[in-house]
Structure formats: structure tokens, C-alpha cells
Amino acid sequence: MSGFTTVGVGAPAEAASTRTRRCVGLFVGLISALMLSACLLTGTARAAAATGTITNYTDPSMAVPTGIVTGPDGALWFTNAESGSIGRITTGGAVSSFSGAGIDDPQGIAGGVAGASTAGPNGSLWFVNFYSNSIGQISTSGAVTNYTDPSINGPWGITMGPDGALWFTNELGDSIGRITTDGTVTNYTGTGIDEPNQIVAGPDGALWFTNSGNNSIGRITTSGTVTNFTAAGITSPQGLAVGPDGALWFTNFFTNSIGRMTTSGTVTDYTSSTLNGPLRIAAGPDGAMWFTNYDGNSIGRITTSGAITDYTSSSVSAPEGITAGPDGGVWFTNTGNNSIGRIQASQAAETPQELCQLTVADVEASSRYQGLPPLTKNVVNQILTGACTQLGTITPKLNSRQFAQVITTYKTAVQLLAVGGWLTSGQASSLTALASGLTAS
């Protein structure tokens, strides 16, 4: 693996033959890790689908699932509004259900900032109970704690704040709430807060929320200062999420459009004939925004430049919550047929050979690779493509300890490639996620 740290491509005083050897050494190190990953196969690896492919998961415990978020344990956690329970589904589709006295019509759920797969402030997930006017906490082992306060009135959305507390909307109380991990609740009111719905931690250190009652987007600082933004492109906003472009993206449910607002308040409105009751929205792993078309029974995708794509399937029924998963997919709740859906959003690998090919494609697209001398580039390309081809025929069996070692080796190789400039941080993150999701069937 030393080739990763000693590469000296382009050093002016270095001979071409030396540069070639070092470049080849770098990639041989990579391929060594990739070839080891072939040993993950004890059969056919769990398949990931082409972009846009929808998979549906059902379970008797699912009853009007609404909110969904990626948890700190790498699974998806969701709220079952009708049964008063919290559900958990692994990326492989295994479902668990947790119920308790402190769960009553749960709606929004938070597991990390903007739905990221990071733990809450104390490693738990937090949710709101709309009917019982309370805030719930559930550990990844299923232990539930419930918190009440007179100011909690019809809580709907919840998110992790930048201050280590949870922030939530009181839709019936026209206020914004804050709760610490020990259950201390603070309530904030202000001009412009009218039926607040979704809330997210913004890119500017403040909390942002949708006001469905007065067609506006609200902002509240961690000290409680409220600002309200109105514009022609904000009409009964519902869902809200921070985009990869640092803007706030929201859904206009009744006017069938997707809105984008900068932190200074500039609004752009996007429409399409495929938009039909857009409800929730989330940033995907592919640099685009993904949203649920509740009335249209479909999943939508919008790029940061406004290009909209619609995905349909007979299994999509009144989809509501949506979040980016840790596996290159976007996961959503189907309230209409009591199921959880997944749509493939980014590059995928079914086998270690395909993972190798994806890694090679990313590396060869880098400016560092493109800057190699033609002869060096040709040699490296032959080594990489040849190794990936051979990888398809290698299928020895490993025990669980060796399995874990191979995954660790591959991830280390990917991170070293990122440090060396052969992969972007985004590519490294995606490939690492793919490696984590590649399991034997």
C-alpha cells in the first residue's frame, strides 16, 4: 500500500520511467484491495439496481408510515402514524417494530442533521407525537422516552439543531419548539409563524421552517429571533430541505411546484406537468433533490438547475416521507399501501468486479489521471481494466473476520485515493457506501 503515499506524478525532476513505476504502484495497490474484495463472494452479491429502479418493502407492522430518516446505525427509521409505533428497516429489507406508551400518532422523525446518517445528540432518534402533544426519544435498541410540556401543541416536523438540541414545529400552536436531551422545552412565537410544518437546520447556523398557513418560509436563530420570507413562488409550502447548492428547497403542495430559496430570500419556482401534490423533499446522494408526489403516486427528482424527472411504479401509493439512505438509494414511505419504498439514486455495484469498474471509471475521470503522460496512462488503463476482468472469476470464500478485513482494506484504499487527488471526496463517500452495502446473498 506504500504506493499510495509515494506517488510523484508530474514531479519535474523525476524521470518518466520512475513516474510510470510509481503510478503503476499506486494503482496496483488499489487493485490489490479491489481483488481482495472479490473474496466477499460466497455466492452472488446483493444486487443494487439501475438509477430510477423502485423496490418496495412490506410488513404487517407498517401502518400509515409517514416520516423517515437514516439512523445512526445505518438503518432507516420511520414513524407508523396509525399504529403508534416506530419502525426500522435495514438496507436489506429486514423490518423491526417498536411500540410503547410514549408513541402516539408519530409524524416527523430526526436521526441527524438534514437526515444524515449521524447520531442524534445522545445517539438516539427523536420523533413528534401529534395527537398526544409530546416529543419522543427512541434508542437504536428500542427504548422509548416521552417528554411533555404545555407549550407542545400539534408537533409535526423535527430536526437536529446546530446547538445540540432538537427543534420542532407546533403546527396547531403556531410556534417553534426546542427540546434538550434532558427534556427541557423552550417555546418561541413570532410574527409570521402560521401552521409551521417542516423544519431543517440551515446552512447559515439557523433553523428554517415552512409556514403552510400564510404561504411563507420562516427562519429562527438559536436564540429565538424570527424572520419571515414571502414571495410569489411560495404557496402553502410543506416539505423543506437544504440542497447541495446551499439553498433551501421546498414543495408547494397545492400549486404543484418546487421552490428554491437562498438564505437571503431570493426565490425561484419550478413547475412541471409531472408535479402532483409534491409533499416532502430531501437531498439525494447524487447531487440532486428528490421529492414525493403524494397525489401523483410517484417519486420526483429535480437537479439544482431545475430539470425534473418523474419515476412511477405500481407500488408507489401516496408517498410522504423521503430521505437519502446510506446505500446510494433514496427511501420513502408509502402511506397509501403501508409500505416502504426505495429508489436507486446513484451509481451501484452488484459484484466486486462492478465495484472495481466503478472505481476505475472515477479514477480515470480525475484531472490527475488525465494529466498523466500518454504512455503512462495507457499502461495504467491496461492494468486496471485487466484486473477488473480477472476479478469476475475470483470467488473464494472467507469467514466473517476476513470479510470485515477486506471491507476495511478497500475503504482505506479509497480514502488514500481521495487524499492523493485521484477521487473526489464525494466519489470516495459513494464508493465507501457501496462497499458497505455489498454483501453475500
Cell of 89: 428497516
For residues 172 and 425, give the distance between their C-alpha atoms in angstroms, rounded to a whole number: 42
Q: Provide mean pLDDT across the span 293-321.
A: 96
Mean pLDDT score, 100-116: 76
Q: What is the rounded distance in angstroms from the CA atom of residue 182 to the CA atom of residue 60?
A: 34
- DSSP character at residue 84: T
Q: How far is CA 71 from CA 42, 76, 131, in A?
A: 28, 6, 24
Cβ atoms < 10 Å from Cβ of 160: 25
Give strand pairing partners of 252: 237, 257
Provide the 10 A C-beta neighbour count for residue 415: 17
Give me the pLDDT at residue 391, please. Answer: 58
Name which residue leads in pLDDT, 27 or 236: 236
SS3 251: strand
- Provide the pLDDT for residue 393: 59
Residue 78 · residue 67 · CB < 8 Å: yes
Which three cell numbers mark 114? 438534514
Q: Give the chain's mean pLDDT.
A: 83
> In the prediction, which pLDDT does 138 show?
94
pLDDT score of 13: 39
d(C-alpha 426, C-alpha 337), whole Å: 35
By mean pLDDT, which of 93-97, 159-163, 357-361 is the weakest? Answer: 357-361
Three-class secondary structure of residue 366 per DSSP: coil
Helix (H) or strand (E) holding 391: helix 374-391
Query: Facing residues of 200 across strands?
Result: 208
Separation of alpha carbons 364 and 335, rounded Å: 43
| Predicted TM-score of the model (pTM) | 0.72
pLDDT higher at 323 or 40: 323
Please state the domain extents for the chain: 3-45+350-437, 54-344
List the grid coordinates of 438.
Answer: 455489498
pLDDT at 262: 97
The angle, 0 to 180 degrees and rounded to 10, between the axes of the packed helices 16-37 and 352-364 is: 150
Q: SS3 string of 395-413?
A: CCCCCHHHHHHHHHHHHHH
For residue 66, give the 3-state DSSP assignment: strand
Of the candidates 63, 56, 103, the one whose C-alpha atom is nearest the C-alpha of residue 83 is 63
Phi, psi (5° rounding) for residue 435? -60, -40
What pLDDT digit, counting tens, does each position of 347-399 carry? 666 666 677 777 877 787 778 888 888 888 888 877 877 776 765 555 345 56
- Return phi, psi of residue 48, to 5°: -115, 145
Question: Which of 82, 81, 49, 45 has its CA nearest to residue 313?
Answer: 49
54-344 — its CATH code? 2.130.10.10
pLDDT band at 119 (very low <50, low <70, confident <90, very high): very low
Mean local confidence (pLDDT), 396-416: 72
Cell of 232: 410569489
CB 384 within 8 A of CB 24: no
Q: Determine the Cα–Cα distance for residues 40 and 95; give it in Å rounded to an integer.
A: 24
Residue-level pLDDT at 432 = 83
- Coil, strand, or helix at residue 231? coil
What does the alpha-carbon distance between residue 202 and residue 96 come to, in Å, rounded to a whole number?
32
* Other CB atoms within 10 Å distance of the CB of residue 50: 8
d(CA 396, CA 39): 5
Measured in whole angstroms, the distance separating CA 284 from the mean position of its chain's CA atoms is 6
DSSP structure string for 183-207:
--EEEE--TT--SEEEEEE-TTSSE
What residues contact residue 94 under an 8 Å CB cut-off, 6+ apart? none
> Under the phi-then-psi rule, with left for phi > 0, alpha for psi from -120 to 50, and beta for the rest, what region is 184?
beta
Smallest Cα–Cα separation from 413: which of 14, 23, 33? 33
Could you count the other beta carbons within 10 Å of the beta carbon of residue 94?
A: 11
Of residues 427 and 99, which shows the higher confidence score?
A: 99
Three-class secondary structure of residue 228 per DSSP: strand
Q: Tell me if 211 sits within 8 A of 228, measured CB to CB.
A: yes
Percentage helix, strand, coil for the chain under 3-state DSSP, each rounded to 5 = 25, 35, 45
Q: Are 339 and 308 in contact (CB under 8 A)?
A: no
Q: Which letter does DSSP use for residue 45 in this model?
A: B
What pLDDT does residue 357 have? Answer: 72
For residue 15, what pLDDT band results from cuts at 50, 70 and 90? Answer: very low
